[in-house]
Homo-oligomer: A and B are copies of this chain.
Amino acid sequence: MGPLRLPSLSSIFVAPASCHRSPAIFRRLTKAGFYAQNAGEREVSGVTIGEVGNLKSNSRVQDRVITPRSQDFNAWYLDVVANAELADYGPVRGTMVIRPYGYAIWEKIQEYLNSKFKETGHSNMYFPQFIPYSFIEKEASHVEGFSPELALVTIGGGKELEEKLVVRPTSETIVNHMFTQWIHSYRDLPLMVNQWANVTRWEMRTKPFVRTLEFLWQEGHTAHATPEEAEKEALQMIDIYTRFAYEQAAIPVIAGRKSKMETFAGASKTYTIEAMMGDRKALQAGTSHNLGQNFSRAFGTQFTDENGQRQHVWQTSWAISTRFVGGIIMTHGDDAGLMLPPNIAPVQVVIVPIFKKADEKAEVLGAAIAVNEVLKSAGIKVELDDSDLRTPGWKFNFWEMKGVPLRIEIGPRDVFNGSVVISRRDIPGKQGKVFGISMEPSVLIPYIKDKLIEIQASLLDMAILFRDSNIVDVSSYDELKAAICEGKWARGPWSASDAEELKVKEETGATIRCFPFDQPQGSKTCLMTGDVAEEVAIFAKSY
């Protein structure tokens, strides 16, 4: 295996021409002429792809044209979501249909998190989605935060309901209503549950995965006897999310604490993981809240402690949603479409058989089927694209657009040599292509497994490089404004007021994403006031 080649930063990024007009302009791994290159230029495995392409309708390739990412990030995103068949719009404005390929990514997220939740002592369960309106009103800041975006059921079974029902935007209220019935003494604590569910928030500006009227998520809810335990739990869960982001999704999130203004409606503290998207906007990718006793006081969720005293429980809640799928797309995608980290790719390897003459078909397909079986039995998620309806060229583009990490090509010459050709999705063109890898399982299986590990690590490295080159340390408000204006994230000491935080938002469009856990050493002075500051904050524009 050759060393991983990373393009130099200067070749990746083109400075924006004018900050104020188009702060999001940037280029990364742009592959102009991508389709032409695939359809005609490359000769592989003894057959020129373009030729085969010409045998059948090659026009299909044009169906899948994607706006270049560098040209219009938003249009690119919507094209990828549509063309990679990740999601579609539902008939009700702002709703989303999650298509099988997009849902399979969500299932990978579920699988990993579910096992971590269970390992750490949480049980899955299910709370009803209809919540009496009066519940929402019980916790003052909660109702303030959520009431503008509620969907209300007012008619049931043909009759006007006496009390309007809220379609859950989140479940803290109904959870506390039930906890009150289940928790009696310290023996019933800690109570640690999770549910996988749909939630509804009447959003005005929606975008597939990132912000939809209805979305899927998991929401964990726990109750503890002491504030220390609740704090430990909230931190444990943001740590699980952080590990998931790094190790599975190859997204180098920055974990930290939200400012008071950005804290969840009803929480004492909110921890967050913030991810830098390809357009350098921040995505809040997961949150964990220390709820203190806010909900337990509002709902009277009490327990009798070991001394016989009645006390309110200390609580947490934490969630990751289908929004994370949007984060994966916007972190790793490129002009050719989606690029999936092997650990969460529904298909890790696609096999494309290549043949020209009818008499080549049997032996090529036979070899492809054999390789497919070998990899499948080794636990690798492999798909054999043996369709007669598409040309190899079309298939190359299609599976690249779908973000499959590795492609195996098998042609007549390969069958003769007992070898295959392997192409990496993350390294375009010839540099990512290796010829003559033996079909022998004892060679092929470890080779593929190694490559998948290498790609997983490479995607994370790329994303870290990108993130770190786009965070600017600032020590004054002017520097902060300049960094935000350039489309970057600004990191600087902060101890100013809520009003000043709001002023930053109004003047620059950036908010405090978090006070990162990882803090620089030494004394600091607030970038806004010059007062002593305990911590640096990260400011950025966000989704």
Chain A residues close to B by CB (< 8 Å): 88, 90-92, 95-100, 102-104, 106-107, 123-132, 135, 147-158, 164-165, 167, 174, 177-178, 181-182, 187, 193, 197-198, 200, 202, 204, 213-214, 216, 389
Contact = CB atoms under 8 A, between A and B. Distances in A.
Contacts of A131: 91-92
Contacts of A132: 91-92
Contacts of A174: 90-91
B100 A193 contact: yes
A389 B306 CA distance: 13
Nearest to A85: B182
Contacts of A100: 123-125, 193
A113 to B, nearest CB: 14
Nearest to A322: B126
Contact of A88 (B91, B102, B106, B178): B178
16 contacts: A88-B181, A90-B127, A90-B128, A91-B132, A97-B178, A104-B124, A107-B124, A130-B151, A130-B213, A148-B158, A149-B157, A150-B156, A151-B155, A153-B167, A156-B202, A156-B213
Number of copies of chain A assembled together: 2
A515 to B, nearest CB: 32
Contacts of A158: 147-148, 150, 202
A129 B91 CA distance: 11
Q: Which of A88, A124, A125 has the most CB of B within 10 A?
A: A125
Nearest to A101: B123
Contact of A164 (B91, B123, B155, B177): B155
B148 A157 contact: yes
Interface residues of A: mostly helix, strand, loop or mixed?
A: mixed
A395 B149 CA distance: 47
Q: Which of A150, A152, A177, A193 has the most CB of B within 10 A?
A: A152
A496 B217 CA distance: 51
Given A97-B178, A174-B90, A181-B88, A204 B157 contact: yes
A96 B200 CA distance: 19
A128 B92 contact: yes
A167 B202 CA distance: 15
Contacts of A181: 88
Nearest to A178: B97
A162 B147 CA distance: 20
A132 B93 CA distance: 10
B90 A103 contact: no
A128 B88 CA distance: 11
B126 A98 contact: yes
Contacts of A165: 92, 151
A214 B155 CA distance: 15
B150 A125 contact: no
A167 B152 CA distance: 11
B167 A91 contact: no
Contacts of A164: 155
B125 A157 contact: no
Given A151-B153, A157-B150, A214 B128 contact: yes
A103 B91 contact: no
Given A128-B214, A148-B158, A151-B157, 10 more contacts: A92-B132, A98-B126, A99-B125, A104-B124, A129-B198, A130-B213, A150-B156, A150-B157, A154-B154, A197-B198
Q: Which of A98, A130, A165 has the most CB of B within 10 A?
A: A130
Contacts of A126: 97-98, 103, 106, 216
Nearest to A127: B97
Contacts of A149: 157
B97 A157 contact: no
A100 B152 CA distance: 28
A156 B167 CA distance: 10
Given A153-B153, A157-B149, A167-B167, A130 B187 contact: no
A225 B345 CA distance: 31
